[in-house]
Amino acid sequence: MPAIALVAAGARLGLSLGKVFGGHGFDVALLARSNERLGELTERLTAEGVKTAGFPADVTDRPALAAALNSAAEQFGGIDVLHYAAPAAGSSQGVRNTGALDVTVDNLAPQMESICYGAIAATRAVLPAMLAAGSGTLLYTTGASSVAPIPLFVSTGMAGAALRKWILTLNAALAGKGIYAGHVAIGTWIAGTPGAPDGVTLKEPDDIARFYWDLHISREPAEQHISA
């Protein structure tokens, strides 16, 4: 059975990705820092008939993240698809309040660690086996601020932009090797997300998850923007 590793996906999108890929015959490895989240998602996906296991990992602890992905690969016989969507570091209010004039090396560094460096570490853990097999899919999620300047999300947008640049370059470097790398920039509020402003258009997580399946199957384009 093919397997997908979902690294630090939010509860709603993570559940939907697990259901969509699981519905197409994938086993699902869940990686997150919170044992509570892992337990909840594992239980819900198992109830959907998806073979699922959770592996605790903090994306800022690169050796532990690699070890968790290696454990998932051993349990499921390999990782065919990696999805990485680490959350911003710190409180959501703190992230919103970091405007362009407020960015410092100190408050940007945690965003780079979580959003960019964690993605690179996760990729390096699974890529050698994909290269050896000549197949694989690497999917990454950022917010829309990685593509277009958004005054409220400057530090996370900077980290996401660095990751986006690497993903697009990585996809080109992997051309002809059987491996696809795709970037998804989400510029809409996901239904059920706490703190969504009143009056905004919400998108159902199951609908968003289908974009990822389509990218996995079509292996193009290298980038998908999802808006309201």
Phi, psi of 6 (to 5 degrees): -105, 110
Tokens of 226: 């999802």
Angle, alpha carbons 58-133-76 (nearest 5°): 50
Given this model, what pLDDT does residue 166 score? Answer: 98
Q: Is the pLDDT reported for residue 211 higher than 70?
A: yes
Summarize the confidence of residues 180-195 as an average pLDDT. 85
Question: pLDDT tens across 37-82, in order?
Answer: 899 999 999 999 999 999 999 999 999 999 999 999 999 999 999 9
Residue 209 pLDDT grade (very low, low, confident, very high; cuts 50, 70, 90): very high
Which pLDDT does position 95 carry in this prediction?
Answer: 64
What are the two backbone dihedrals, phi and then psi, of residue 35, each rounded to the nearest 5 degrees? -65, -30
- Which range, of 59-68, 78-87, 195-204, averages the lowest pLDDT? 195-204
pLDDT over threshold 60, residue 90: no
Cα 135 to chain center, whole Å? Answer: 19
Confidence of residue 24 (pLDDT cuts 50, 70, 90): very high
Q: How far apart are CA 172 and CA 5, in angstroms?
A: 22
Beta-carbon contacts of residue 171 (< 8 Å; ≥ 6 apart): 180, 181, 182, 222
The conformation of residue 186, written as its DSSP 8-state character, comes to E
Instruction: Domains for the chain: give ranges and CATH numbers.
Output: 3-227 (3.40.50.720)
pLDDT bucket at 189, cuts 50 / 70 / 90: confident
CA distances from 2 to 50, 75, 150, 154, 214 (A): 12, 12, 38, 37, 16
Mean pLDDT of all residues belonging to the chain: 92
So what's the pLDDT on residue 92?
Answer: 64
Collect all residues with Cβ–Cβ distance below 8 Å to 116 and sequence separation of at least 6.
159, 160, 162, 163, 166
Residue 96: pLDDT band (50, 70, 90) is low
- Give the pLDDT confidence of 155-172 residue by residue, as tens digits: 999 999 999 999 999 999
For 48, list phi and psi in degrees, rounded to 5: -85, 0
Q: Which residue has the higher pLDDT, 97 or 83?
A: 83
Question: What are the tens digits of pLDDT across the range 106-156?
Answer: 999 999 999 999 999 999 999 999 999 999 999 999 999 999 888 878 999
**Residues making up the chain, counted from first to last:** 228
